Amino acid sequence: MPALVINLRRAVGWMTGVLASATLTPVLAASTCDGPAWPFWQDYATRYVQADGRMLESSLKANHSTSEGQSYGMLFALVANDRERFDRLWTWTAENMTGADPSTRLPGWLWGQGEDGSWKLQDANSASDADLWIIYALLEAARIWQHPAYRNDALALLKTVESRLVVNLPGLGKMLLPGPEGFVQPDHLWRLNASYLPVPLLRRLAREEPAGPWKEIADNTAKLIDASSPKGFIADWVGYRGTSPKTGLFVVDPVTGELGSYDAIRVYLWAGMTPASDPLAARLLARLDGMAVSTASSGTPPEKVQVMSGASQGQAPFGYSAALLPYFQAKGQTWLAEQQQRRVEAGVSTALARDPTDRTEPAYYNLMLSLFALGWVEKRYQFREDGTLKLSWETSCPRAATR
């Protein structure tokens, strides 16, 4: 059979789920019940999510879109029981970033206007953290809203992730690459990113596929953090070098060195949101203690840390304070959580009051971290030990699945 025919059939099968979701949107919206309002998400979505489901803001260029932003938006829409917007976010992502065949294509990470003036996918390389968040949001939307088409889409993407991004590192075992291109270096060196590996997401994937690699990847994520955080801080990027076919060790990343900053702040966020009953929770919090010590000493988180020496510099933006709220709560440091939450609330208020075209201080990342943290602190969502979501609105919606 000609390859073109096979690809067209795959495309039709893939887009059937997406189009089914899109055509069902009015019915879905009508069938949902109203849970507690989430004004923060509604304000953010009104400003930055187009009617077609594209999130406009990014940390790079105004009005560019990233797979990360789309994936986070899907999660927040689910947390808010914002079913119609969830559907639009996913439909736009599938049509514009993922392509027609999830068995061979991962979401490209950057979409926007190119130098030639055309609006299209600007970088087809994927970001595996966004891939996992998309899969996670689809799995949980399928379960909670009882909409199986989302699960079908999630499993198609999950299969592609497992085939293209999961590697077996010598002396370590299964690990997730940050993307398909650029992370396997010469001389048996792999570049890894702990912020791409939230333990609750890995637990949810392990629940979906008990025989898959995800429990092992969760265990190896803890090993990564253990081995590369001697002063209680984690770097943005960590290297792993194979020293023989059966041995290897974690090393300082050859590209960014021992810097912990923009990416790494999410590792503390994920550790704080990991349920206390998870076997890895206490271990992660204990190993990442440096950020608590530094923030308690200075009153604000450091913007940059050299993780091998513990030397820090700069005052971080309010989004970093947001990322640390669950972390401080999980560590029982409520006074630090309260102190940083005041800073976060002031920062959010200022950012949302600013004209969206004002790029002097891009709002995207600070507000995304704040949505994650404040939604969790306000108990709009929590993660169960198996990675599933516990949502504040589920008890008021009889059709929602609670387990």
Q: Which residues are catalytic?
A: 68, 129
> SS3 of 247, please?
strand
Give, in order, the Cα–Cα distances in Å from 350 to each of 346, 363, 377.
6, 10, 20
Which has the closest alpha carbon to 197: 173, 230, 224, 170? Answer: 224
What torsion, rounded to 10 degrees, do the Cα atoms 207, 208, 213, 219 define? -20
Rounded to 5 degrees, what are φ and ψ at 3? -60, -35
Taken as a whole, the chain contains a residue count of 403
Which residue is associated with the tokens 């204990």? 286
Contacts of 6 (CB under 8 A, 6+ apart): none
Which has the closest alpha carbon to 325: 371, 262, 393? Answer: 371
Give, in order, the Cα–Cα distances in Å from 358 to each of 57, 102, 200, 362.
12, 37, 35, 8
